[in-house]
Structure 1
């Protein structure tokens, strides 16, 4: 395996932090305690003890205020705002990746998107109906869609950077993101955002200048009294985002006129129109009890492009598209959340009795396309089917103090939870998936063939879990935590996880903390039962030369006879062991946290290789044998989900903050934070017991191994300054991304994104009438990753830049914001 290190970056960063640490006491003063950057911010994630502050927790927790999230110029792209604020979170922007363009995944600590649990007000959120099956980062994952939550609806976000399956259940291997909704019984705000990309960039075949991706949004919230002492907070957003395009020029052979400056593809962000409405309600009852409810609905239309088809493509019909065509994949996404419950004291216990329901539905359409097997009689627009995921939970939680003779009573938390999940896959219209008998052309809607009745399914499962969580002080200086959780699933059985953690405060200024825990992630229903036959862009090496072709590729369920013949078995849960050790230092307005971690994961669920095409690691005999199994089904490759990947992720998070108040120059909040991360693949899925000759990398080849190891930056450093003076304020931020490897199965085709530093700036002025105007530029110096080499780009030039770029590939974004608070 290949490993990149960031020793020089780490040493340089540590030196800066050390100098800051030595300098900090000279400026020691009492820090104001009025925002989410102050040390007394109370957190609820990772601890069930009331009153723990951000710097008093046993595990590291980042707190990002809603105000910070709305200052990113990113509209409803919550994942982008979190990535800009937390070094351990990355949000690449895939393109030409089918559904992944519309439900774009984020990662924590370089792990899979579905290895981070997302909570809403402390309760489990539901994942998306989509499972990522193409070549984007997070391939094979079925994760929560952070971008269904508009920033305006949030009061703060807490990011727990530690394994927490014993406390919260499945998925919390990398950590937990807790989205805390805004809570107010008065006041409000209305904000109008406008922005667009103004950029110049080079691709392999020439230079470009673009002004595109216009974004317009109107967002607001209002706090209302509810009965005498309750609150009702309503929030919502309307947004429109135009697409961006960073495609390369097509080759002369791909255009009817032989032009060298024709752009046929569309590679970039999708076109989006979204509407969202959320509420958060609480009201006290008698005897210290209260009722609460919260939830929201998101309705979103999105359109992205598939790979452009040249006029002379074998699956084009010249009489219909004489210049070729660009298929558009469109989705309509509905996302629903509804939570409610009662909490209060009884029998010396603080109870929380809750229920929730969530649903994510994604319907596909394909426009500007054709089913070539019909010839000129084909439709141009197709209904391609859909995906639905539902989740319902019922939980009872209790917390009570226990006096067992220690320095203070320990906090005992316990609870049970029942959860039911349902996954549906529905077929598209017949013309979207069939092939006309006798036709030599490919069937199905080009760009995204629809789901067939053979793909349609509805499956459900249930599980029940129970946990106990004890936290307290053995002495005034030593805090400990012990947690255990048992879960029993109706499909794969039961699992038990545990966690032991401790913290020792040597003084009010310095503490050490650490934890050891086991974790798990249950196989998603989508990973077990999703199936699909698609037209994919695949680059193979023939005689040492890369050849790009469009082929029919089948994704089969793990219980399908084809999958079983190729070695598939029932999926088991992923299992992890997490180790962490950290330090906390604070002195007046200065604070510094350093947390090292190691995460060992077994039986990671992956999507296998496309079995059938020629691969450098496979013999001709293997390829022929696989094709003998799958060709009778009308496909040229097959893949399925499987367990067996083992990885180790090691890293360190460093966060330093300092606040400086001056009489004449205003207040400065300075932050310097970094994540240094390395993942190694320790074992790939073993050779299956099948009656065909196979190689050691039969199920998981070089490019996918290296995507795990080097598909996210090994170091990311964020430095920011927030300044305010009277009615003026400003933010400046610089983010360094280490280079990411774009690996292929033939090493000669590897290339890197390159390391880059992006600079974002924003200035604000608050008028006396409650109106604030802001103007900002993200990526001020118009940085781009290295472009896709010409020999890896199809003749249509559809792929301008690598999808694994940790900051995307859109260039400079200029925006303005006008808000009114009341």
Structure 2
């Protein structure tokens, strides 16, 4: 019996997410219109669906995720939930391997991710390049294979009072498969219309009955993908002029498509297990996962004419390849039992993310041609999280012959973060001919950047829920958290729903929330060579990211990071027609104070205080994590669904979803010693990144038709315009409409074949203006397109169930 976000969301402030098991022991589950309905027996809050809740909840079934043949979990979720954004990125260092994803236009770390109702650890990677969510670390959803997923529940409402830190924009709960028998096998292969990006994926899942006392479900996936490349031709001079001043003849034969601009090549292997077993008078449950991904993406091409190239090794220049090894592992175990009227759930879990930077086809020019390696271990980032919770829940007789659900519990969490230095050759300055130091493409972490720090926190909560009448339900929750680094926080939530008729209801909620600064933001530090935009030219500089316990941050009186705090309100209407038509419309507002940003670069030329702080370092500029910005986000979500019985022509299911969100900056607050440096620390580019880098409007319209042995799926996905700031100003990229189509034939109840196309009409985003194409190489936006710039993709898929 899996703990579901839907059950936890009813009444908005629902029974504690780990405590619904007492009601769910008699749960019946069924799939209706690709949306799972959950029948809760023994409670007045029965027959709970996504339209019966007091807050908006999307329930995405495994069938919906797989309908269009999308191979990545995060991308499939993006096309299923319009308010979820998963933009593409290229030439962005580690972000090419772990891309950021966000909900309701907020930061990636404003969304809490759960697995089976338990907190999931985030990636060790900190997004440092010019992507959405710069300075954040998000959960790597692609480390969780689609083959292991039973459904995904998306609570689009603040829920810090229910779950603790991070749940400002909402909560994503991934429910793992839990079948006791049977399984499935799947093989998919495809490539882009362009002729690259070839990929194949092998996946499967199977369940085992444990002597009638429980089930063990194992799921595995192997995914191989070749890179895509949409780079323009590099028309720049590549070689030094000859002694007589003429161009080198090799200019005529040089392969000028020298950059890799597109999706990274990667291999990903994952294994997940999910177990439940009746033990004694209770239930033992456990789940675990392991994934390992190796990707390869290009950095900037180093020309033979440049000082960071050694022509003795690379006569024609070279393209450094970032080849990080990304490893995720997690395990949870728990036990549920009853003591008198109380239902108890005790659990403990561990998660770990490792991001090892490897650089290939590179060199350290400062070591000279005789000493430099061409491959480097540039260092490793590690994030570990341990959770332990004890929850208790019972029902108490209440007024009007109703039952009051009382839930309470205590949780403990320990987070640790480590930065391990790379090979000495990846960061050392060998002083050869004053050449640049460090591995080209990504400078390794030096011993000065090494960190091994941790923090812990304890939380307690109380939640109440009551179906006071047949028409009215309400909920309330309060949670207190105490952290070892910044102190404490208290958050609360109130919610309610009133059914005016059998078909029409209104619902709403108000809540406060918080997000504790992540250990990545607290402790990440590094000095490396970055390409910085200086008056439209990208020039290499020694750029330092200094954490808040560093001497530099203390000299500038940055101060310890404090939690972000939010106040949210939502109001919605629900319509459930007699003919099966459902419609929900929910408006919301989220105000966040003291948002944490990764600042822009400040240099000694900007102020004497910066010059003094950097005097003892090798950095030419510095940036910090700092609480600096207050924002307000407003939006509306619309979801509608209808099933049509076409008689002998089969049945047709139609689903429509639309999301609008707009974020505005209310205030910018910087430390006193940096007063007057707003233009450097949080400039127009960073402000735009927070407000307009993702589309404000997005929507989808999907149709699934079944007749006989045939099944077809058509989806239209709309992504509104978005903006990007370049050195020369702001560019607006127009809306995109993507058409996905897939047709399946079922040879039997077990075997089926699907063929399909994603981006059927081969749509591309608008091109960058001529002045922002970096000599014609970067044709498309590198970081923000919600659809990427690969064009159309066709595939075939063979599935077998047993």
Tell me the TM-score normalised to structure 1 length: 0.90
1:810 aligns with 2:775: no
After superposition, the Cα gap between the structure-2 partners of 1:520 and 1:712, relative to the gap in structure 1 and judged at 3 Å, is same
Separation in structure 1 between the aligned mates of residue 35 and residue 269 of structure 2, nearest angstrom: 36
2:378 touches 2:426 (CA, 8 Å); kept in 1?
yes
Indicate the residue corresponding to 1:677 in structure 2: 661
Q: 1:435 aligns with which of 414, 421, 429?
A: 429
After superposition, the Cα gap between the structure-2 partners of 1:49 and 1:357, relative to the gap in structure 1 and judged at 3 Å, is farther
Separation in structure 2 between the aligned mates of residue 493 and residue 799 of structure 1, nearest angstrom: 48
Give 1:796 deviation, angstroms: 8.0
1:252 touches 1:259 (CA, 8 Å); kept in 2?
no
1:339 touches 1:355 (CA, 8 Å); kept in 2?
yes
Indicate the residue corresponding to 2:319 in structure 1: 326
What SS is found at the alignment partner of 2:266? Answer: strand
Give 1:534 deviation, angstroms: 2.2
What SS is found at the alignment partner of 1:552? Answer: strand
2:261 touches 2:298 (CA, 8 Å); kept in 1?
yes
Name which of structure 1's ranges 764-773 and 111-120 shifts more when overlaid on structure 2: 764-773
1:387-406 equivalence runs, <5 A? 387-406=381-400
1:267 touches 1:800 (CA, 8 Å); kept in 2?
no
Indicate the residue corresponding to 1:208 in structure 2: none
Give 1:798 deviation, angstroms: 5.3
Give 1:602 deviation, angstroms: 0.5
1:164 touches 1:172 (CA, 8 Å); kept in 2?
yes
Indicate the residue corresponding to 2:63 in structure 1: 67
1:786 aligns with 2:766: yes
After superposition, the Cα gap between the structure-2 partners of 1:97 and 1:422, relative to the gap in structure 1 and judged at 3 Å, is same
Indicate the residue corresponding to 2:247 in structure 1: none
Give 1:393 deviation, angstroms: 1.1
Give 1:131 deviation, angstroms: 1.3
Indicate the residue corresponding to 1:132 in structure 2: 127
Separation in structure 1 between the aligned mates of residue 764 and residue 778 of structure 2, nearest angstrom: 17
Give 1:632 deviation, angstroms: 5.2
Separation in structure 2 between the aligned mates of residue 398 and residue 557 of structure 1, nearest angstrom: 39
After superposition, the Cα gap between the structure-2 partners of 1:39 and 1:817, relative to the gap in structure 1 and judged at 3 Å, is closer
Indicate the residue corresponding to 1:596 in structure 2: 587
After superposition, the Cα gap between the structure-2 partners of 1:297 and 1:159, relative to the gap in structure 1 and judged at 3 Å, is same
Give 1:254 deviation, angstroms: 3.7
Give 1:321 deviation, angstroms: 1.4
| 1:441-490 C-alpha deviation (Å, 9 max, x unpaired) | 11000010100001111111111101111111222211111000001111
1:587-626 equivalence runs, <5 A? 587=577, 588-612=579-603, 622=606, 626=610
Indicate the residue corresponding to 2:651 in structure 1: 667
1:297-376 equivalence runs, <5 A? 297-376=290-369
Separation in structure 2 between the aligned mates of residue 37 and residue 415 of structure 1, nearest angstrom: 36
Indicate the residue corresponding to 1:580 in structure 2: 570
1:688-767 equivalence runs, <5 A? 688-690=671-673, 694-744=676-726, 748-767=728-747
After superposition, the Cα gap between the structure-2 partners of 1:438 and 1:663, relative to the gap in structure 1 and judged at 3 Å, is closer
1:379 aligns with 2:373: yes
Indicate the residue corresponding to 1:3 in structure 2: none
Indicate the residue corresponding to 1:12 in structure 2: none
Indicate the residue corresponding to 1:11 in structure 2: none
1:23-422 equivalence runs, <5 A? 35=31, 37=33, 41-42=37-38, 52-75=48-71, 77-199=72-194, 211-254=195-238, 256-257=250-251, 262-287=256-281, 289-377=282-370, 378-422=372-416
Give 1:138 deviation, angstroms: 0.9
Separation in structure 2 between the aligned mates of residue 815 and residue 42 of structure 1, nearest angstrom: 34
Indicate the residue corresponding to 1:819 in structure 2: 799
Separation in structure 2 between the aligned mates of residue 567 and residue 711 of structure 1, nearest angstrom: 31
After superposition, the Cα gap between the structure-2 partners of 1:407 and 1:585, relative to the gap in structure 1 and judged at 3 Å, is farther
1:40 touches 1:55 (CA, 8 Å); kept in 2?
no
Separation in structure 1 between the aligned mates of residue 299 and residue 35 of structure 2, nearest angstrom: 48
2:188 touches 2:795 (CA, 8 Å); kept in 1?
yes
What SS is found at the alignment partner of 1:467? Answer: strand
1:265 touches 1:798 (CA, 8 Å); kept in 2?
no
After superposition, the Cα gap between the structure-2 partners of 1:260 and 1:316, relative to the gap in structure 1 and judged at 3 Å, is closer
| 1:179-212 C-alpha deviation (Å, 9 max, x unpaired) | 000110111100001011113xxxxxxxxxxx11
Q: CA RMSD in A?
A: 2.0
| 1:735-763 C-alpha deviation (Å, 9 max, x unpaired) | 1111110013x5x4221222110100000
Number of equivalent positions: 760
Separation in structure 2 between the aligned mates of residue 262 and residue 43 of structure 1, nearest angstrom: 62
What SS is found at the alignment partner of 2:521? Answer: helix
| 1:610-660 C-alpha deviation (Å, 9 max, x unpaired) | 1129xxxxxxx6268745643652222210100021110000000111110
| 1:328-363 C-alpha deviation (Å, 9 max, x unpaired) | 111112211111111122120111111111111111
Separation in structure 2 between the aligned mates of residue 450 and residue 126 of structure 1, nearest angstrom: 25
Give 1:800 deviation, angstroms: 4.1
What SS is found at the alignment partner of 1:635? Answer: coil
Separation in structure 2 between the aligned mates of residue 112 and residue 750 of structure 1, nearest angstrom: 21
What SS is found at the alignment partner of 1:284? Answer: strand
Gaps of 5+ in 1: 1-32, 200-210, 614-620
What SS is found at the alignment partner of 1:743? Answer: strand
Give 1:422 deviation, angstroms: 1.2
1:308 touches 1:796 (CA, 8 Å); kept in 2?
no
1:264 touches 1:797 (CA, 8 Å); kept in 2?
no
What SS is found at the alignment partner of 1:622? Answer: coil
Separation in structure 1 between the aligned mates of residue 98 and residue 540 of structure 2, nearest angstrom: 24
Give 1:438 deviation, angstroms: 6.3
1:552 aligns with 2:548: no
Separation in structure 1 between the aligned mates of residue 32 and residue 686 of structure 2, nearest angstrom: 39
Separation in structure 1 between the aligned mates of residue 155 and residue 623 of structure 2, nearest angstrom: 35
| 1:232-271 C-alpha deviation (Å, 9 max, x unpaired) | 1111101111111121210242465157972111011111
Give 1:795 deviation, angstroms: 4.2
After superposition, the Cα gap between the structure-2 partners of 1:50 and 1:478, relative to the gap in structure 1 and judged at 3 Å, is closer
Give 1:314 deviation, angstroms: 2.1
Separation in structure 2 between the aligned mates of residue 54 and residue 106 of structure 1, nearest angstrom: 23
2:34 touches 2:63 (CA, 8 Å); kept in 1?
no
1:603 touches 1:644 (CA, 8 Å); kept in 2?
yes
Separation in structure 2 between the aligned mates of residue 609 and residue 34 of structure 1, nearest angstrom: 51
1:73 touches 1:195 (CA, 8 Å); kept in 2?
no
After superposition, the Cα gap between the structure-2 partners of 1:693 and 1:641, relative to the gap in structure 1 and judged at 3 Å, is closer
Give 1:35 deviation, angstroms: 2.3
After superposition, the Cα gap between the structure-2 partners of 1:805 and 1:812, relative to the gap in structure 1 and judged at 3 Å, is same
Separation in structure 1 between the aligned mates of residue 573 and residue 392 of structure 2, nearest angstrom: 31
